[in-house]
Each structure stands twice: as C-alpha cells, then as structure tokens.
C-alpha cells in the first residue's frame, strides 16, 4: 500500500473518532480543504501526523473545539457581495410584499452579519414585521456572537459603502450604537431574528420557508453532501420559495436544478417550480 493511501486511512479513522465522540460528521466535506484544516490543527497542536490527533481530540474537548474552529471558516461581512442584496431587494422583495407573512432561513450564518444586512433592507422596505427569520450554524460560538449583535467598529466605513451599494436608503449607523471600538445593532433587529444551532449534515427540515439563503457553505462540501443539503432545502421550502446560493455556488451541475427557475444566474437566486 502506498504511503498516500495509508494517510487517507489515518484521516478516515480520525473522522470516525470525531463522529463517535462528538456526533459531528465531516466524512463528506471536500477532501482537499479538510486536509488543509487538519494540517492547520497539527501545526497548532505541535503534532506531525493526523493519527496523533485522535487521542488528543477524544480526551480533550478543547482540541475538538479548535478543530471545529478550523472547519468553520467563519469569514463573513455586512452586505457581502452587495449586488446579491440589491437583487433580493429589487427582485425578491416585490414578491414578498404580496404575502401577509413569510419565513426566511439563513443556513450557515456564521457570526450573523449577513442576516443583519437582510433584516435592515427588509426594515427599509417595510417588510420586517411580516418576516420570521431563522439563522442557523453548526458552530455554537458563532451563534453566540450573532445573538449579541456586537461587532468591531473597524469595518464601519467599508460596511457603510456596501450598504449603500446594496440599495440601503438611510445611514447604516442609524441601526446601531457605537461604543469605543464596537458597534451594537438595535434591539429591533436583534429581536427580529431567531439564532439557533443546526447542522446541515444531520439535522432536519425547517418547514415552509419562503426564502432559504445559504452562501459560501457548499464550497466546503463534496458533491454527495451538496446534493443531500439541496434535498433538505427543497423539503424545507414553501411553494414558489426562493433558494439563494450566492456568487460562489450554483445549481447548474446538480440534480436539483430541474426543481427551480433561475431568477438571477450571477447571484444564484432560484425560485421553486410547482
């Protein structure tokens, strides 16, 4: 057996140990990025081989937390890809405005900037009171940050620009209070969103969602897991519901594409056919 094949067995064994001990299943994460992240953890733990991580992770929850942090890539920002938000505002909001009540699910919301961005635009369109917004992630630390709605003030200028480009018609600073180096979103926004733990690999459907947003998450999954999650989204969506995958992901090469009409190719915004 080649050394490379043995190294794969080491990784499989590590993933199996994590699954049995912590009920997190990374088997269907894209292998190349998975390996990079394991390598990152090896450096942090001053270890050389993946098998050495097995006892560390099994006996020390902190080491698992570090692994989850490596796997979570929580990079996000306010109004990330501003054109995506502009399309939601211009194309999807007019449909929402015909509903007395609607539900939105942000899956893989990280620390919440994306969902606050949407809530602000909904507020400006007079639609926030009609919305029930769920935002989920499998990293509880990120969810805790999101619930607080407190962020560094460092990016305020860039965020203000992106907000205007996304179609915001006030000032972003109207929605938060600033103290020293931090901003805190107003309670009107924080209380409009329900943040919760949800693992896309193993947890169940969210019923009758009118919009499902899941951006920059599929890139970490292999084809099988992507298809499973698309299935979950299909089961979770309401009649004529929107599925929004953002600029990095597309339905083009998936089995799910027959179930949707394309609303915006560039931002991968789709609408469920009935």
Ligand X SMILES: C[S@@+](CC[C@H](N)C(=O)[O-])C[C@H]1O[C@@H](n2cnc3c(N)ncnc32)[C@H](O)[C@@H]1O
Residues that bind ligand X (CB under 6 A): 72-76, 80, 108-110, 114, 137-139, 142, 199-201, 215-217, 220
Residue number, 172 or 201, with CB nearest to ligand X: 201
Residue number, 109 or 189, with CB nearest to ligand X: 109
Q: Which residues of 116-127 are buried (b: 16+ CB within 10 A; e: fewer)?
A: bbbbbbbbbbeb
Residue number, 85 or 220, with CB nearest to ligand X: 220
- Min. distance of Cβ 28 from ligand X in angstroms? 9
- Min. distance of Cβ 176 from ligand X in angstroms? 18
Residue linked to tokens 């919009």: 211
Please spell the DSSP secondary structure of 92-142, one letter per residue: IHHHHTT-SSEEEEEES-TTSHHHHHHHHHHHHTT-GGGEEEEEEES-HHH
Are 94 and 127 in contact by the 8 Å Cβ rule? The answer is no
Are 261 and 271 in contact by the 8 Å Cβ rule? The answer is yes
DSSP state of 217: S
- Min. distance of Cβ 202 from ligand X in angstroms? 8
Joined tokens for residue 142: 């990120």
- Min. distance of Cβ 185 from ligand X in angstroms? 16
- Min. distance of Cβ 8 from ligand X in angstroms? 21
Residue number, 177 or 235, with CB nearest to ligand X: 235
Is residue 71 exposed (0-12), middle (13-18) or buried (19+ Cβ within 10 Å)? buried
Residue number, 73 or 238, with CB nearest to ligand X: 73
């Amino acid at each position: 057996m080649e050394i490379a094949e043995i190294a794969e067995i080491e990784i499989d064994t590590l993933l199996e140990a994590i699954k049995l001990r912590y009920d997190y299943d990374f088997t269907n994460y894209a292998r190349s990025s998975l390996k990079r992240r394991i390598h990152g953890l090896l450096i942090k733990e001053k270890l050389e081989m993946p098998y050495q991580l097995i006892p560390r992770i099994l006996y020390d929850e902190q080491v698992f937390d570090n692994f989850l942090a490596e796997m979570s890539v929580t990079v996000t920002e306010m109004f990330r890809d501003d054109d995506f938000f502009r399309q939601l505002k211009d194309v999807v909001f007019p449909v929402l405005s015909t509903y007395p009540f609607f539900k939105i699910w942000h899956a893989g919301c990280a620390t919440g900037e994306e969902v606050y961005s949407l809530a602000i635009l909904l507020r400006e369109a007079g639609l926030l009171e009609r919305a029930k917004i769920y935002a989920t992630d499998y990293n509880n630390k990120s969810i805790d940050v999101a619930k607080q709605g407190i962020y560094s003030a460092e990016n305020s200028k860039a965020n203000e620009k992106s907000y205007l480009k996304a179609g915001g018609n006030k000032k972003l600073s109207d929605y938060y209070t600033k103290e020293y180096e931090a901003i805190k979103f107003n309670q009107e926004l924080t209380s409009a969103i329900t943040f919760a733990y949800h693992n896309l690999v193993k947890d169940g459907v969210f019923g009758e969602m009118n919009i499902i947003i899941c951006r920059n998450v599929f890139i970490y999954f292999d084809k099988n897991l992507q298809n499973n999650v698309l299935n979950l989204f299909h089961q979770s969506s309401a009649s004529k519901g929107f599925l929004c995958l953002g600029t990095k992901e597309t339905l083009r090469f998936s089995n799910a594409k027959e179930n949707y009409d394309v609303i915006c190719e560039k931002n991968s915004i789709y609408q469920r056919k009935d």
